[in-house]
Structure 1
Amino acid sequence: MRLFWHRRDLRVADNRGLAAAARDDGGDTVLAVFVFDDAVLEYAAPPRVRYMLDALSALRERYRERGSDLLTVRGDPSAELPALADEYDADRVYWNEDYSGLARERDRAVEGALTRAMVDVRTVHDAVHHEPGAITTTDGDPYRVYSYFWKKWRDREKRDPVDPPAADALADVTGDDLPSIGDLGFEDPDADVQSAGTEAARERLDAFCDGPIHEYEAARDYPARENTSRLSADLKWGTVGVREVYEATVDAREGRTGDADESVETFRSQLAWREFYAQVLWDEPSVAAENYKSYANPIEWRDAPDDLRAWKEGETGYPIVDAGMRQLREEAFVHNRLRMIVASFLTKDLRIDWREGYAHFREHLADHDTANDTGGWQWAASTGTDAQPYFRIFNPVTQGEKYDPDAEYIREYVPELADVPADRVHEWTELTDGERRETCEAYPHPVVDHGEAREAALAMFERARGEDDDG
């Protein structure tokens, strides 16, 4: 028998590691396992655990349809996997590669334990089209600028999706019931977490490719239009394979020209961003906690607990910022344009360390991904690779006017402003205290003045740059 260890690949279709285990010579069957690793759960949060359990439940059904099951255990995988291999007389364990520093450390420990137990290990690249280290400069160095990475990524041939294993390749076993979220030490989240599993992911993918993808370039930044794929959690947890997603974009592009064709290409560029940040994390694991970009002097982030609390609760008095933060709380998801706006506001207007924002997102996002989230936060904070220059600071008022002109998105998530005209919503920070009280007494006054905050942020970064930074 062979074991396949599921991690961030909770599907049977287009799973390269599972397919490799199923087609291996020898006639043995494959037993699929998942380990609830307490070291990983220590960094988890209710929305992600909810999504994970729902995805595992859907995965188990796919195995049961094939006359098999998903075996689950809890503990240290470096102890549990050798024990399972011994119990089921398995001589080989497969898994798909993960790229964070902690994951690679865990996998080395598991491989060592299995090797000592005389069990062979086979690993496969599955989560990305082009594994870290495959796309480099002519000198063999990892790219630090996305645009150069994208040009090579775009032109590289992509693998086709792989079929799910045949039923007779899977072990005839029956697993125990999945634990509840309470069993794992978490409470059900307050957020309405989106449906999980391959079927739900395919429904989102099909709906996106049937229309919105052809308007993606023009409409993706407008949160009220719902013109994004909503596949971020599916890709994070691997409920759908990256090759299947790419193949869907090929079909969506068939016969398209002009703006529709360019929009499909723009969506593909977002897939490339995932792999760019995965490569950054693989090459520099410290970016999960440390600035990627070096400044001559430390950045003087503010210790401002009241402002941080207001940002977390969506009570900053900047309507577009507060709408984004409340969407996070309600849906365990935030529209990508809003992720940039709220991150800029925290790091530039409030001058609070990006790590505070990253930690809050990790606690509340169902799609939290270390590579993507550290990449995005460090981009906004001007501390990352290929980051936004420190002197480009989003104006939250003009961002709201441009991307939510009718205040539809704002009024959906900030109900206090539901009856306030759009122009008044966007003027909120320019109103006097009396005008704000007269317009909507329930909504807070701005916590900062953007103009003053911008100047303070520029001065903060100038001090950090010192005389040695060439910009």
Structure 2
Amino acid sequence: MRVFWHRRDLRIADNRGLAAAAADDTVLPAFVVDDGVLEHAGATRVRFMLDALASLRATYRGLGSDLLVVRGDPTEELPRLASHHDADGVYWNEDYSGLARERDAAVRRSLEDDGLVARAFHDAVHHEPGTITTNEGEPYSVYSYFWKKWRDRSKADPYPAPGPESLVPADDLPADPLPDLDDLGFAEPDAVLQRVGTDAAHDRLDAFLDGPIYEYQEAREYPAREGTSRLSADLKWGTIGVREVSEAVEAAAADAPDDGAAESVEEFRSQLAWREFYAQVLWANPNVVSENVRTYERPIEWREDPEALRAWKVGETGFPIVDAGMRQLREEAYMHNRVRMIVASFLTKDLRVDWREGYAHFRELLVDHDAANDSCGWQWAASTGTDAQPYFRVFNPTTQGERYDPDAEYIREYVPAFEGIPAEEVHGWPDLTDEQRERTADHPHPIVDHAEAREAAIGMFERARGDDGSGG
């Protein structure tokens, strides 16, 4: 018998480690609620995790088995489970953060000390970190070069799901209830999450492939449109397999009705590659979650401004597209990717607040929080990361709103104070006089002057570079 340790792979189909365990022996599926992981979790992600576990357990029960869920330290719980059920070893799929790798190494030592087999597999990505490198064998720091190799490298087919004959019968397992949020020390989140589970993930994929993928290249930039796949949480938690997604995308490419549609499909493929690029950045540099990747001659003079940070978090900056995005985050535990870039630029450039403050807030609220994607995304916006935007590129939130939400539909959805107000007045809100704003809508006045903030941000980075003429 083999214990299969589920983590961020809450599905049975296209699960590489689970398929390997089923090929080797009968499988006991297990999940360990790890308090060490919960210390870094927010209520929305724990809610998603519990709902996904319920869905996964229902799948196993439909096959005559069950998902065994225990709480504790996996270095203790996994050897105990293996011993209690007379299993020969434990299989799992890899994760790439520094904390996950430390935990997995400790689990491996604990299992091997007990004479148990410990096997780990690369499942969350197509290509194992460290296998797509420069000609000198170094990890890529520029995405475009990584993408060229990634797209041309063959991809594995989806792995088969285990059948009932490969699973421990439910009669041999305790039918303990799943913990709830209160048991784990979390309050029910205010955000309303999208449907959770493998069926829901496949429904989202099918809906995306049924038209939107062929308009993705343009539509993905407009938050008021249903132009994205909304699969980010599913890929983060593994309620759908990356090979399943890629296989379906390849089929969509073959069916593309014209060159423009084919280019849109290719653009979506490139987003899957970005996910793996950032995974290999994290793998090569685990400190990317807390330390600047790009070095400057001097420390960056980030500002400490608790009131500005509070206004940003609650969507009261007085910049409509920024406030809409931050309110979407609170209401849905999700934010459109274009808007993520806008709000990140605003925090790090207009407010000159350390990107780590934004990363911590996203980690707390985003249901799709992924250490690699989020830390690298924040460092991209802050001009401190791998392949980041230049420090002198500062998004103008007004221009961004006009360009990507021209009719202010997205803004009005999340900032109802602007309901019924013409789009040009919504976008022009930061440029109105205080008297005009008082007459227009009940919404906060802008907390900074963007033009002045832009110059201040550029100056901050020039001083860090030693370009301010002071010698350094």
CA distance in 2, matches of 1:162, 1:80: 27
Alignment of 1:137 onto 2:138: no
CA distance in 2, matches of 1:439, 1:90: 69
Instruction: Tell me which residue corresponds to 2:281.
Output: 280
Kindly provide the CA deviation profile for residues 61-93 of structure 1, in whole angstroms up to 9, marking residues without a partner as x: 110011000001000000000000100011111
Instruction: Tell me which residue corresponds to 1:60.
Output: 57
Q: CA deviation at 1:255?
A: 3.1
CA distance in 1, matches of 2:195, 2:128: 28
Summarize the alignment of residues 221-370 of structure 1 with structure 2, pairs less than 5 Å apart: 221-256=221-256, 257-370=258-371
Instruction: Tell me which residue corresponds to 1:147.
Output: 144
Q: CA deviation at 1:224?
A: 0.4
What one-letter code is carried by the residue in structure 2 that aligns with 1:45? G
Q: What SS does the corresponding residue of 2:224 show, helix, strand or coil?
A: helix
What one-letter code is carried by the residue in structure 2 that aligns with 1:37? D
Kindly provide the CA deviation profile for residues 97-149 of structure 1, in whole angstroms up to 9, marking residues without a partner as x: 11110000000000000000110111111000001001000000000000000
What one-letter code is carried by the residue in structure 2 that aligns with 1:135? I
Whether the aligned pair in 2 keeps the contact of 1:296 and 1:468 (CA below 8 Å) is no
What one-letter code is carried by the residue in structure 1 that aligns with 2:140? Y
Q: CA deviation at 1:467?
A: 5.0
CA distance in 2, matches of 1:430, 1:80: 59
Whether the aligned pair in 2 keeps the contact of 1:6 and 1:32 (CA below 8 Å) is yes
Q: What SS does the corresponding residue of 1:306 show, helix, strand or coil?
A: helix
Q: What SS does the corresponding residue of 1:122 show, helix, strand or coil?
A: strand
Q: What SS does the corresponding residue of 1:363 show, helix, strand or coil?
A: helix
Q: CA deviation at 1:252?
A: 1.0
What one-letter code is carried by the residue in structure 2 that aligns with 1:352? V
Percent identical:
69
- TM (norm. structure 2) is 0.98
Q: What SS does the corresponding residue of 1:236 show, helix, strand or coil?
A: helix
- TM (norm. structure 1) is 0.98
Summarize the alignment of residues 169-180 of structure 1 with structure 2, pairs less than 5 Å apart: 169-173=166-170, 174=173, 175-180=175-180
Instruction: Tell me which residue corresponds to 1:69.
Output: 66
Alignment of 1:43 onto 2:44: no
What one-letter code is carried by the residue in structure 2 that aligns with 1:102? L
Q: CA deviation at 1:195?
A: 1.3
Q: What SS does the corresponding residue of 1:223 show, helix, strand or coil?
A: coil
Q: What SS does the corresponding residue of 1:140 show, helix, strand or coil?
A: coil
Whether the aligned pair in 1 keeps the contact of 2:45 and 2:366 (CA below 8 Å) is yes
CA distance in 2, matches of 1:162, 1:91: 23
Q: CA deviation at 1:419?
A: 1.7
Whether the aligned pair in 2 keeps the contact of 1:51 and 1:195 (CA below 8 Å) is no
Q: What SS does the corresponding residue of 2:32 show, helix, strand or coil?
A: strand
Summarize the alignment of residues 343-422 of structure 1 with structure 2, pairs less than 5 Å apart: 343-422=344-423
Instruction: Tell me which residue corresponds to 1:123.
Output: 120
Instruction: Tell me which residue corresponds to 1:13.
Output: 13
What one-letter code is carried by the residue in structure 1 that aligns with 2:401? G
Instruction: Tell me which residue corresponds to 1:438.
Output: 439
Q: CA deviation at 1:225?
A: 0.7
Aligned positions, number:
465
Instruction: Tell me which residue corresponds to 2:204.
Output: 204
Whether the aligned pair in 1 keeps the contact of 2:325 and 2:340 (CA below 8 Å) is yes
Q: What SS does the corresponding residue of 1:5 show, helix, strand or coil?
A: strand
5+ long unaligned stretches in structure 2: none
Kindly provide the CA deviation profile for residues 265-284 of structure 1, in whole angstroms up to 9, marking residues without a partner as x: 00011000110000000000
Instruction: Tell me which residue corresponds to 1:107.
Output: 104
What one-letter code is carried by the residue in structure 1 that aligns with 2:309? L
CA distance in 2, matches of 1:300, 1:311: 19
CA distance in 2, matches of 1:316, 1:295: 29
What one-letter code is carried by the residue in structure 2 that aligns with 1:204? R
Whether the aligned pair in 1 keeps the contact of 2:462 and 2:468 (CA below 8 Å) is no
